[in-house]
A and B are shown apart, each in its own frame.
Chain A
Amino acid sequence: MIRSRLVNICLAAITAVVFIILYGPIFVPIVSSFFVVKWGNVQWDQTTLAAYVALAHNDGILEAVKNTILVGISAVILSIVIGTLLAFHYQSGRSRGRDIIQFIVFLPFLMPPIITGLSLLIYFREIDFERSLVTVIIGHTVFVLALVYRTILVRLQALSRSMVEASYDLGASGWQTFRHVLLPHLASAMIGAAVLSFALSFDETMITILVTGTDSTLPIRLWAMMRLGFTPDINALVAIILALTTALCLIAARHLMPREAGARSA
């Protein structure tokens, strides 16, 4: 776009400010994780890795991380399986029922998480389903399902019908067609959606806080700790999480980018 030098400098300055606003709250704990903290003040002249050592011995946090990963992986697997089935079901015909189901699946993504969380909380209570990590997994699956379903459906719709017809004409069974024609085509969309939903699940706080029982995931644990203030090992944890999420984000971006040309030649 055409614009003058002065305007460009102003825009760049605002962008820089926004980057500072966004990254400031992340870098403060990360940088301080490498320094000695005394009475709440960071000692800028004393570097240390003590925070990382302390983290390795913080059983409460490690347990929460383990729960979070367990919930994330379960929710990802469930939502990929259900999302794929839903996408196939939507694709395999036309009826008003399908559109209604699609709308229902989108609801938890459109509505504020507090509403999804509260409705599940009330529901579990009414059907006498005890709150535990299982209810958290259900909550997360419901939350990320729309995203997974949509990603897979879009990819499925991009597949040309003649490929499937060719597969049938060559004598492949339904399963063989799925396994050798559809699945390879959908794989990168599935991986992208899986990574993104794992990231969403990993940080999901508002639904989790409402549907969890006595087990806590990492965000819930952090939420409970926040009243007392964080210990230095939390800073170390932030640094590790940032490194991992950035890596995951890059992987997701690579898989979600359309690779039509590559897929066709393969």
Chain B
Amino acid sequence: MSEAAGNRRVAGLAIESAAPRAWRASLAVIAYGLPIAFILLPLLAFLAYSFFSVSGVTMSYTPTLMNYQRFFTDPVFLPVFWRTCLLCLEVAVLAVGFGYPVAFFLAGLEGRKKYTLLLLLMVPLLMSYVIKIYAIRSILGGNGFLNRALLALGIIDQPLTIFVYNLNAVLLTLTALLIPFAVLPIFLSLERIPRNLLEASADLGASNLQSFRRVVLPLSLPGTATAATFVFVLAIGDFLTPQMVGGLSGFTFGRIIYSQFGTAFNWPFGAALSVILAAVVILAIAAGTRLGGRQRGAS
């Protein structure tokens, strides 16, 4: 195929015909160079670091598996790791538990109202993360709104401190922050269910509950799996929330990683822990995609 014919065929792109060679070369340099220089190389450097070690303040660039070994053998890290995974699963379940009914409610609304409410649900995402954490902490605190409400309702007779500076606080705060991420995918999967399927189900004599269980729920499972994955991944990567509301007992994996780059000053070990975090995230995404994919295949 001649060069000219090639250019014609991919006429999708204007830039190809005027100054083909120079343009195409510089375009390729940018297209390959920048992502490699600023995404791939940093990631590789980071991966390499996890095999280095540090003694005192000097880095040793001799490859070693010491960091990974330390993670699996030291009695401190594994329990925190599992506890964090469990915590983030709980956050995912809670967020989906709240998100599903909301998405279901929105999907049932008519026209404009539906999208306005959806947009309103997303607006808080654009609001400063740090300020939201701070505000939630003050709501959960001893003198906060939650305790005052419980006191006023007569459910408790003195302020509780179980909501702040521990893992409960991390759980509640992360859930409150991440609910919108759960609503959106579920809403989209509910929107995609053709109406005539529901009409058919009703015509065939199914009750509302039966229609929901047999038609709506299975068809919305892929979206629900995506929602849970989103929330889990966002929760496990967060180190600011636990740092802020977790106190001394609310130690999470993300916080340990962050501390390796701050007070503990052991970058290689921190890099190794992050590689483990990345592995968990990849597993979670794979599991979410599979769950969603299989359900779609079955239906």
Tell me which residues across on chain B come within 8 A of A121, comparing CB atoms.
Answer: 261
Asked if B128 and A115 sit within 8 Å, CB to CB, the answer is no
Taken residue by residue from 233 to 245, chain B's Cβ proximity to chain A (1 for < 8 Å, 0 otherwise) reads as: 1101111100010
Interface residues of A in 190-241 (CB under 8 A from B): 199, 203, 205-206, 209-210, 218-219, 222-223, 226, 230, 234, 238, 241
CA gap between A245 and B128 in the complex, in Å: 10
Asked if A107 and B98 sit within 8 Å, CB to CB, the answer is no
SS of B interface (majority):
helix
Given contacts A122-B46, A203-B129, contact A28 B135 (CB under 8 A): yes
With both chains docked as a complex, state the minimum distance between the C-beta of B199 and any C-beta of chain A, in angstroms: 8
Asked if B18 and A219 sit within 8 Å, CB to CB, the answer is no
Interface residues of B in 19-49 (CB under 8 A from A): 19, 23-24, 27-28, 30-32, 34-36, 38-43, 45-46, 49
CA gap between A242 and B99 in the complex, in Å: 23
Judged by a CB distance under 8 angstroms, whether B13 is at the interface is yes
Taken residue by residue from 95 to 121, chain A's Cβ proximity to chain B (1 for < 8 Å, 0 otherwise) reads as: 001100100110110111111001111
CA gap between A127 and B258 in the complex, in Å: 22
Number of interface residues of A (CB under 8 A): 90
* Contact among B11, B120, B122, B130 with A168 in the assembled complex (CB-CB below 8 Å): B11
Taken residue by residue from 11 to 26, chain A's Cβ proximity to chain B (1 for < 8 Å, 0 otherwise) reads as: 1101101110111111
Given contacts A21-B179, A118-B261, A122-B46, contact A222 B126 (CB under 8 A): no
Chain A's closest residue to B18 (CB) is A174
Judged by a CB distance under 8 angstroms, whether B134 is at the interface is yes
Judged by a CB distance under 8 angstroms, whether B105 is at the interface is yes
Tell me which residues across on chain A come within 8 A of B135, comparing CB atoms.
Answer: 24-26, 28-29
CA gap between A221 and B180 in the complex, in Å: 26
With both chains docked as a complex, state the minimum distance between the C-beta of A240 and any C-beta of chain B, in angstroms: 11
Mark the stretch among A47-55, A69-77, A246-254, A258-266 that contacts chain B.
A246-254
Judged by a CB distance under 8 angstroms, whether B295 is at the interface is no
Asked if B239 and A182 sit within 8 Å, CB to CB, the answer is no
* Contact among A10, A14, A161, A245 with B98 in the assembled complex (CB-CB below 8 Å): A14
Judged by a CB distance under 8 angstroms, whether A62 is at the interface is no
Asked if B98 and A178 sit within 8 Å, CB to CB, the answer is no
Asked if B131 and A29 sit within 8 Å, CB to CB, the answer is yes
Asked if A245 and B131 sit within 8 Å, CB to CB, the answer is no
CA gap between A15 and B117 in the complex, in Å: 10
Asked if A93 and B277 sit within 8 Å, CB to CB, the answer is no
Asked if A177 and B105 sit within 8 Å, CB to CB, the answer is no
Tell me which residues across on chain A come within 8 A of B46, comparing CB atoms.
Answer: 115, 118-119, 122-123
Chain A's closest residue to B117 (CB) is A15
Given contacts A112-B236, A114-B274, A174-B16, contact A89 B42 (CB under 8 A): no
Q: Can you name 15 A-B pairs with beta carbons within 8 Å?
A: A18-B102, A19-B121, A25-B136, A89-B28, A89-B31, A91-B12, A92-B24, A93-B10, A118-B271, A122-B42, A159-B12, A167-B14, A174-B19, A175-B15, A177-B14
**12 other contacts beyond A2-B208, A91-B13, A126-B45, with CB at 8 A cut-off?**
A11-B101, A18-B179, A22-B121, A22-B176, A89-B30, A112-B278, A114-B277, A118-B270, A120-B38, A174-B15, A174-B17, A226-B134
